[in-house]
């Protein structure tokens, strides 16, 4: 018999991992709403051209990693590799800034990149992200980074460091790139083959090369942050000072570059030491001009996205038990007890917000208790004929075996099992 496995780099999510990802999303949703953002969902399939225009043809994402196919009508579609371009497209398509010129959006969902899978790097992965439009003030960058910081703190990611860089904009980049190309031209012969190609295609990318030889060759290369104009410099300083005023620790990294072409101005990354090579748990920056690139108005924009799996992995590495699903109560039915009477109580408890498991299929009390233990129920309630007749039963707290006698009244049971939640 043929057995089937999931596609390489694409994970089935179940149990604590699925619950953990959902919990990360809950944390982000709560905080993003507090920052005045509204949740959006865009389609997973987009036109290929959208990412070529926005993320950039010379990037790894567009050049090597997109899942692209031709649809039956001949259109070229891709599984979205990221959502910033999609949200920008949505904002333009529906003219959303007319109703709210300072629209803030957030999203959670799957993205697809055909990268080499390893720990923390998958071909289908999830992102949570924030995209803010129409705010050119440094305050928007500050608030974005403040939300990112709040997410990291809420998830208990203590080792994570936020780095701040700056790539300048179309008003500074051509002159800077000329300087960089001039520097690289003098060292062309020493560059390894791959790096020489990158130098042609996307020289900025060489600045964060992991190859020690390339690093050494670029040690004294001109850096974009040293070649900003007054506007970018004062914007950058205002962002930095705002973060300091909020007590958010950021480290300036002059060599930081991003793997997407749409950034202009401040960029940032949150880095961990817990995931080996996959150091970035979250990243973003300002991308004024992207809306125009996808056919919309010239509007400022800033945002970030976090890798949901990476955030979860790092939270777990810090000992956080995200996504533990332990029912509040396991109800055990003794032989002969009235199943309907028990079901009425179980259903009423669930309606009242308790998580209750109950096996009313007539298995032995011992087998039912085992299941209550295995599922990690916080309480167990054994109900037999005597209990149902007297309307009282003993409630066992599983953590320490303490037993209390309670009346089988809905409100009493509910408050007993929920009180130490
Ligand atoms: P990005 O740096 O390509 O930026 O991805 C953001 C985050 O997604 C990364 O820091 C990482 O945590 C996670 N990530 C990326 N690729 C993978 C993968 N193959 N497996 C697991 N996790 C991954 C963007 O996507 C931009 N759209 C961010 C942004 C939003 N900039 C402005 N707004």
Whether residue 193 is contained in a domain is answered as no
Q: Are residues 239 and 154 in the same domain?
A: yes
Asked whether residue 178 is assigned to any structural domain, the reply reads: no
Residue 338: per-residue pLDDT: 94
Q: What is the CATH number of the domain that holds 408?
A: 3.40.50.800
Residue to mutate (ligand 1; options 278, 283, 315; most atoms within 8 A of CB):
283
Domain around 361:
329-417
420 has a pLDDT exceeding 80: no
Determine the Cα–Cα distance for residues 189 and 191; give it in Å rounded to an integer.
6
Q: What is the pLDDT of residues 54-108, one digit of tens each?
A: 999 888 999 999 999 999 999 999 999 999 999 999 999 999 999 999 999 999 9
Q: Is residue 211 part of a domain?
A: no
Checking if the pLDDT of 1 tops 70, the result is: yes
Q: Output the CA 306–ligand 1 centroid distance in Å.
A: 6
| pLDDT greater than 80 at residue 419 | no
pLDDT digits (tens, 9 = 90+) for 252-273: 999 999 999 999 999 999 999 8
For residues 310 and 334, state if they share a domain.
Answer: no
Confidence at residue 323, expressed as pLDDT on a 0 to 100 scale = 82
The last residue of one of the domains, among 256, 286, 317, is 317
- Residue 336 near residue 365 (C-beta atoms within 8 A): no
Cβ < 6 Å from ligand 1: which residues? 82, 84, 113, 115, 120-122, 125, 127, 129, 131, 259-260, 280-285, 287, 303-307, 309-310
Nearest CA to ligand 1 atom 21: 121
| 259 within some domain | yes
Give distance in angstroms: CA of 36 to centre of ligand 1: 22
8 falls in which pLDDT band (50, 70, 90)?
Answer: very high
Band (pLDDT 50/70/90 cuts) for residue 324 is confident
- What is residue 325's predicted lDDT score, i.e. its pLDDT? 75
Number of domains within the chain: 2
Residue 186 in any domain: the answer is no
The answer to whether residues 312 and 346 belong to one domain is no
- The answer to whether residues 234 and 350 belong to one domain is no
**312 & 401 share domain:** no
Task: Please tell me whether residues 279 and 411 are part of one structural domain.
Answer: no
Contact 275, 315 (CB under 8 A): no
284 and 363 both lie in a single domain: no
Atom of ligand 1 nearest to the CA of 310: 12
pLDDT in tens, 227-245: 999 999 999 999 999 999 9
pLDDT at 165 over 70: yes
Does residue 291 sit in the same domain as residue 376?
Answer: no
Strands 161-166 and 68-70 turn out to be: unpaired
Q: Which of 317, 340, 369 is the last residue in one of the domains? A: 317
Distance 60 CA to ligand 1 centre (A): 13
Q: What is the pLDDT of residue 278?
A: 78
Of 317, 351, 383, at which residue does a domain stop?
317
Tell me, yes or no, whether 222 lies in a domain.
no
Is 223 contained in some domain? no
pLDDT over 70 at 21, yes or no: yes
User: How confident is the model at residue 58, as a pLDDT?
Assistant: 85
Atom from ligand 1 closest to the CA of residue 120: 21
Same domain, 302 and 340: no
Residue 221 has pLDDT above 90, yes or no: yes
**CA 82 / ligand 1 centre spacing (Å):** 7
Mean pLDDT calculated for residue range 173-202: 89
Question: Is residue 421's pLDDT more than 80?
Answer: no
- The arithmetic mean of pLDDT across residues 150-160, rounded, is 94
Residues 247 and 348 in one domain: no
Q: With contact defined as beta carbons under 8 Å apart, do 163 and 268 qualify?
A: yes
Residue 388 tokens read as: 């149902």
Q: Residue 326 contacts by C-beta under 8 Å, 6 or more apart in sequence? A: 375, 376, 377, 378
Mean pLDDT over residues 289-300, rounded? 96
Give the position of tokens 């994570």: 160
Task: Give the span between the Cα atoms of 145 and 125, in whole angstroms.
Answer: 22
Position 263 in a domain: yes
Q: Are residues 153 and 26 in the same domain?
A: yes
Residue 416 has pLDDT above 90, yes or no: yes
Same domain, 258 and 137: yes
Assign residue 65 the CATH number of its domain: 3.30.930.10
Atom of ligand 1 nearest to the CA of 258: 2
Pocket of ligand 1, candidates 144, 307, 311: which has the most ligand atoms within 8 Å of its Cβ, to mutate? 307
């Amino acid at each position: 018999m043929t057995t089937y496995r999931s596609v390489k780099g694409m994970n089935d999510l179940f149990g604590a991992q699925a619950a953990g990802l959902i919990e990360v999303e809950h944390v982000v949703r709560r905080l993003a709403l507090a920052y005045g953002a509204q949740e959006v969902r865009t389609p997973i399939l987009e036109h290929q051209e959208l990412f070529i225009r926005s993320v950039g043809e010379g990037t790894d994402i567009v050049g090597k990693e997109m899942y692209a196919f031709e649809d039956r009508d001949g259109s070229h579609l891709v599984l979205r590799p990221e959502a910033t371009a999609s949200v920008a497209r949505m904002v333009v398509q529906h003219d959303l800034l007319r109703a709210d010129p300072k629209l803030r959006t957030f999203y959670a969902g799957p993205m697809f990149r055909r990268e080499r899978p390893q720990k923390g790097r998958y071909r289908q992965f999830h992102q949570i992200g924030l995209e803010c439009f129409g705010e050119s003030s440094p305050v928007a960058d500050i608030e974005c980074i403040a939300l990112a910081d709040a997410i990291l703190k809420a998830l208990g990611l203590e080792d994570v460091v936020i780095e701040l860089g700056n790539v300048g904009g179309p008003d500074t980049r051509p002159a800077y790139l000329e300087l960089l190309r001039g520097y690289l031209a003098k060292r062309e012969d020493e560059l390894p083959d791959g790096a020489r190609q990158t130098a042609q295609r996307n020289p900025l990318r060489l600045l964060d090369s992991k190859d020690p030889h390339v690093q050494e060759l670029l040690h004294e290369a001109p850096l974009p942050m040293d070649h900003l104009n007054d506007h970018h410099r004062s914007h950058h300083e205002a962002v930095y000072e705002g973060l300091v005023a909020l007590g958010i620790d950021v480290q300036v990294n002059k060599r930081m570059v991003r793997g997407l072409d749409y950034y202009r101005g401040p960029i940032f990354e949150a880095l961990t030491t817990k995931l080996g090579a996959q150091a970035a748990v979250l990243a973003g920056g300002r991308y004024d001009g992207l809306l125009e690139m996808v056919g919309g108005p010239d509007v400022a924009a800033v945002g970030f996205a976090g890798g949901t799996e990476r955030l979860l992995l790092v939270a777990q590495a810090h000992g956080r038990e995200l996504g533990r699903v332990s029912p509040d109560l396991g109800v055990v039915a003794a032989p002969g007890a009235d199943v309907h009477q028990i079901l009425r109580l179980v259903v009423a408890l669930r309606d009242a917000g308790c998580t209750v498991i109950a096996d009313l299929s007539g298995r032995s009390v011992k087998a039912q208790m085992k299941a209550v233990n295995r599922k990690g129920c916080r309480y167990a309630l054994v109900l037999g004929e005597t209990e149902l007749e007297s309307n009282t039963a003993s409630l066992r707290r599983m953590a320490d075996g303490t037993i209390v006698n309670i009346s089988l009244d809905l409100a009493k049971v509910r408050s007993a099992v929920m009180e130490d939640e």
